[in-house]
Amino acid sequence: EHHLKGYMENHTKVTEFILVGFKSHPGLQLLLSVLFSTMYIVTVVGNACMILIIRMDSKLHTPMYFFLENLSILDICYSSIITPKAALTFSLRRRIISYNSCASQMFFFSLFGTTEAFFLAVMAYDRFTAICNPLLYQIIMNKRLCVFMVMGSYLSGCINCTIQTGFTFSLSFCGPKEINHFFCDVPAVMHASCSNTLVNEIVMLAVCGSIIVGTALVVFISYGYIIITIVQMPSAESRRKAFSTCSSHMLAVSLFFGTVYFMYAQPGATSSPDKSNTISILYTTVIPMLNPFIYTLRNKEVKGSLKKHSWKCSM
């Protein structure tokens, strides 16, 4: 009987999955679709504007803006992997995703998500150097190091997404398989498998956990030092200015690491799908949309550049 079961499993290879998304009222599905589409448009426009402003203004050709530009490119890619497909799933009930599309969605989502965590760590280190070692800033954050850090972030993303996708899709899936999510996320796909997923869960916890905890530590230690340095500044004005920049960054970072930690870095991450679906909206669609606003709206240089270019345009 065991042999027969094995034979059946091998011969009912799953070619597609059904994305369940949110089990809810059709009216709410339409609302979700509109919401996702709107957030996607804002994400692309906001981040594209960010890239354009940085490219056009030579004053903004500094390490901080080099990282911001890369973050914007990353956020457009990151959001494009998930949001358009999710909006279609909600509006047209196109819930079916092929096995290969599911694997590639997971691969790229994991790549960009991991890279984003490393980017946030790199950006925190950049701010730490600027505020705590201002005299050595130009020497430390040279062009070569900046490019190396961006490449290193993507390389780390590549390693993680290869491990996650490889491990998840080595599981067997039998019969028509529902994925209780609006995209092919690692815990949700793992949950849909009919194999024993213990090893996978341990690998996910170990790899994702160490990445999330490692990058978050760099971020929070950097900001810890930044806050100490700010507190010791002599003038109230310079303290206020430095705090306003850091507080918005800290908000973005806490949102990202908080939600990602909840999803991937704690035992039983695969056990509560409905709660995790809601939370993953935060880091898949909301955070990429907010990043350009958080990093620029409280930023005098970008505002100045915007005014200058809009004035040129109106001439």
The answer to whether the pTM exceeds 0.85 is yes
- Within a domain: 309: no
- Within a domain: 5: no
pLDDT recorded at residue 81: 93
pLDDT recorded at residue 193: 87
pLDDT recorded at residue 136: 92
Q: Are 120 and 258 in contact (CB under 8 A)?
A: no
- Within a domain: 250: yes
Q: Are 149 and 122 in contact (CB under 8 A)?
A: yes
DSSP one-letter code for 171: S
Mean pLDDT of 208-217: 92
What CATH number should be reported for the domain holding residue 299? 1.20.1070.10
- State pLDDT tens for residues 14-26: 788 888 877 666 6
Give the count of beta carbons closer than 10 Å to the beta carbon of residue 65.
22
Q: Which domain holds residue 148?
A: 24-303
- Within a domain: 32: yes
Mean pLDDT of 130-146: 91
- State pLDDT tens for residues 243-285: 776 777 788 788 888 888 887 776 665 556 667 777 888 888 8
- Within a domain: 13: no
- Within a domain: 56: yes
How many domains does the chain divide into?
1
- Within a domain: 19: no
pLDDT recorded at residue 150: 97
Q: Indicate if the pLDDT at residue 301 is higher than 90.
A: no
Percent of the chain with pLDDT over 90: 37
Say how far apart CA 134 and CA 221 lie, in whole Å.
Answer: 18
pLDDT category of residue 60 using cuts at 50, 70 and 90: confident
**Could you give the strand order of the β-sheet that contains 177-179, starting from the edge strand earlier in sequence?**
96-98, 16-19, 177-179
Please state whether 175 falls in left (phi above 0), alpha (psi between -120 and 50) or beta. left
- Within a domain: 4: no
What torsion do the CA atoms of 269, 270, 272, 273 make, to the nearest 10 degrees? 120
